Amino acid sequence: MPTKNVQPNTASRPPVVVIMGHVDHGKSTLLDYIRKSNIVSGEAGGITQRISAYEVTHKDEHGANRLITFLDTPGHEAFSKMRARGATTADIAILVVSAEDSVKTQTLEAYQTIIDSKLPYIVAINKIDRPNANVEKVKMDLVEKGIYLEGFGGDIPFVPISAKEGTGVNDLLDMIILVADLNSFTGATNETARGVIIEAHRDPKRGVSATGIIKNGTVEAGMFIVAGTAITNTRIMENFLGKPIKTATMSSPISLVGFDVIPDIGSTFETFHTKKEAEQYIKEMHELLEKAGNKEGVTVTAKKIIPLIIKTDVAGTIEALEKEITKINTDDLAFRIISKGVGAINESDLKLANSGTESLIVGFNVKIDNGARDLNESLKITVQTFDIIYKLTDWLKEVAEERRPRSEVMETIGTLKVLRTFSATKDKQVIGGKVTLGHVSEGGIVRVIRRDFEIGRGKIVGVQINKTKVKQVEEGTDCGLLVEAKVDIASGDVLEVFTTTIK
What integer pLDDT is reported at residue 5 of this predicted model? 39
What integer pLDDT is reported at residue 86 of this predicted model? 34
Percent of the chain with pLDDT over 70: 87
Evaluate the CA torsion angle 115, 77, 230, 209 in order and state its sign.
Answer: negative
- What's the whole-number average pLDDT of the chain? 84
Q: How far apart are CA 142 and CA 202, in angstroms?
A: 42
Q: Same domain for 263 and 343?
A: no
Q: Is the pLDDT of residue 412 over 50?
A: yes
Average pLDDT, integer, range 104-121: 86
Q: Is the pLDDT of residue 306 over 90?
A: no
When mean pLDDT is compared over 16-20, 31-35, 432-436, 486-490, the highest value belongs to 432-436
Q: Is the pLDDT of residue 260 over 70?
A: yes
Strand partners, 196: 213, 268
Q: Quick one: DSSP state of residue 162?
A: B
User: 64-92 pLDDT, tens per residue?
Assistant: 999 999 987 443 444 444 443 334 688 99
Q: Same domain for 139 and 26?
A: yes
Query: For 248, how many CA atoms within 13 A lie in the half-sphere containing its CB?
Result: 28
Q: Is the pLDDT of residue 226 over 60?
A: yes
Categorize the per-residue pLDDT at 295 as very low, low, confident or very high, splitting at 50, 70 and 90: very low
Contact 59, 70 (CB under 8 A): no
Q: Same domain for 369 and 480?
A: no
Q: Is the pLDDT of residue 297 over 70?
A: no
Average pLDDT, integer, range 285-298: 50
Give residue 480's identity as a one-letter amino acid code: G
Categorize the per-residue pLDDT at 161 as very low, low, confident or very high, splitting at 50, 70 and 90: very high
DSSP string, 23-73: TTSSHHHHHHHHHHHHSPTTTGGG--S--SEEEEEEE-TTS-EEEEEEE-T
Q: Same domain for 355 and 450?
A: no
Q: Is the pLDDT of residue 282 over 90?
A: no
Average pLDDT, integer, range 404-411: 73
What integer pLDDT is reported at residue 268 of this predicted model? 84
Q: How far apart are CA 157 and CA 166, in angstroms?
A: 19
User: 437-496 pLDDT, tens per residue?
Assistant: 999 999 999 999 988 788 888 999 999 999 899 999 999 999 999 999 988 899 999 999
H/E segment holding residue 393: helix 389-403
What integer pLDDT is reported at residue 357 of this predicted model? 63
Q: Same domain for 129 and 238?
A: no
Last residue in a domain, options 139, 155, 185 = 185
Q: Same domain for 170 and 202?
A: no
What integer pLDDT is reported at residue 26 of this predicted model? 83
In a domain, 436, yes or no: yes
In a domain, 351, yes or no: yes
φ and ψ of 20, to 5 deg: -130, 165
What integer pLDDT is reported at residue 160 of this predicted model? 97
pTM of the model: 0.57
User: Shortest CA distance to 503 belongs to which of 290, 298, 334, 304?
Assistant: 298
In a domain, 2, yes or no: no
Q: Same domain for 17 and 153?
A: yes
What integer pLDDT is reported at residue 140 of this predicted model? 94
User: Shortest CA distance to 289 belongs to which of 427, 416, 456, 440?
Assistant: 456
Last residue in a domain, options 403, 428, 451 = 403
Q: Same domain for 356 and 451?
A: no
Q: Same domain for 319 and 413?
A: no
Q: Is the pLDDT of residue 273 over 90?
A: yes
Query: Looking at 135-139, 145-149, 260-264, 290-294, which range is the least confident one?
Result: 290-294
Average pLDDT, integer, range 245-258: 93
Q: Is the pLDDT of residue 288 over 50?
A: yes
Residue 217 sits in a domain whose CATH number is: 2.40.30.10
H/E segment holding residue 291: helix 275-292
Structural domain boundaries, residue 268: 194-292
Domain total of the chain:
4
Q: Same domain for 465 and 343?
A: no
Q: Same domain for 122 and 57?
A: yes
Q: How far apart are CA 100 and CA 131, in angstroms?
A: 8
What integer pLDDT is reported at residue 44 of this predicted model? 40
What integer pLDDT is reported at residue 39 of this predicted model? 60
Give residue 214's identity as a one-letter amino acid code: I
In a domain, 429, yes or no: yes
Q: Is the pLDDT of residue 329 over 90?
A: no
Q: Same domain for 37 and 178?
A: yes
Query: Looking at 33-37, 48-52, 61-65, 477-481, which range is the least confident one?
Result: 48-52
Average pLDDT, integer, range 279-288: 76
What is the total residue count of the chain? 503
Last residue in a domain, options 292, 320, 353 = 292
